[in-house]
Amino acid sequence: MVKRTYRWRFNLAYIIGGILAVAIVLVLMSPLSDSFIAAGPMLIGHETLKCQECHQDERGTLRQQIQANVQYLLGNRQNAVSAGYRTVINKDCIQCHRRPNDRHPVYRFLEPKYSEVRQLVGAHQCVSCHREHQANRVSIDVEFCQHCHDDIALKNDPVDVSHQKLAADKRWDTCLGCHDFHGNHEMKIPQRLSERIQLEKIGEYFLRAKPPYPGKIIHKALSPDYEK
């Protein structure tokens, strides 16, 4: 009797385990499961994106990918490959976020002269500043401008405190108070330093607050003028 009860319980555990396994697989396969699988909260504006919109299959089969990486580790191959899904790259972001006259398009930082900046802040990759699955809009310190603009000097400087002096005084916290990094907000740039947007507001914007820049957004992601 004891033996039968034990066996019955044993079988029941198998059945429950089986049902749970099937249920988990079904849940994971369902479109609703993206938020469970995601490595963290999505960037603001990305909440409705599906995983596969950024995470696409790496070329080759899983076996070819493992094989290629083993060869890479053995020194028989120059490049490793991702296993399963390929690395998300700028081109994935730009499919939605391309706009004319971006003030700091990422591709510009691929130029040889930006080699040091690439190492310091990864300015050539969208995800260096906009890390996905971390909730924040911008995940870099506000003072990043210093890496390229430390020798700034305008011939006809329109601001009451010159850009040259601001750079000399290392006032890198002031840059984004007047300049929207990608230039995607309609705004008149103030000519008095005191009229700039305060650092606290910029910091809140870097988290998830609404843009502190006064004008409207010029180009929304995937707006009709992106691709025709």
Partner 1 sequence: MKSKTFIIQFLLLCTLIVYLFVTAPPPLSETESTGMQIPIERVFKIANEENKQARALYTKEIVQAGKKQGLKFDEQWQESNIIAGPLPAQFLRETAMHLEKSPVRLGLYLGSDYPINKVNQLSGQQLELFKKIKQTGRDHFYHIPEDKTYVYMSPDVAIAKACVSCHNEHKETPKQDWKLDDVMGATTWLYPEETISLSEALHLLSELRAGFRFAYKYFLMEIKQMKNPPEIGNKWPRDGYYVPSIDGFMTKLTSRSSADTLDLLMQSVKKSEKGGENDREPG
Q: Site residues (CB under 8 A) for partner 1?
A: 59-61, 63-68, 70-71, 77-79, 81, 90-91, 94-95, 98, 100-102, 105-108, 110-113, 115, 148, 151-152, 154-156, 183, 186, 218, 225, 228
Cβ at position 187, least distance to partner 1 in Å? 10
| Cβ at position 57, least distance to partner 1 in Å | 13
The percent helix, strand, coil of the chain (3-state, each to 5) is 45, 0, 50
Place of tokens 């890479």: 72
User: CB 218 → partner 1: shortest distance, Å?
Assistant: 7
Using the minimum distance from each CB to partner 1, give the nearer residue, 3 or 228: 228
Q: Which is nearer to partner 1, 47 or 151 (CB)?
A: 151
Task: Tell me the closest approach of the beta carbon of residue 215 to partner 1, in angstroms.
Answer: 8
Q: Is 26 or 57 the residue whose CB approaches partner 1 more closely?
A: 57
d(CA 173, CA 164): 14
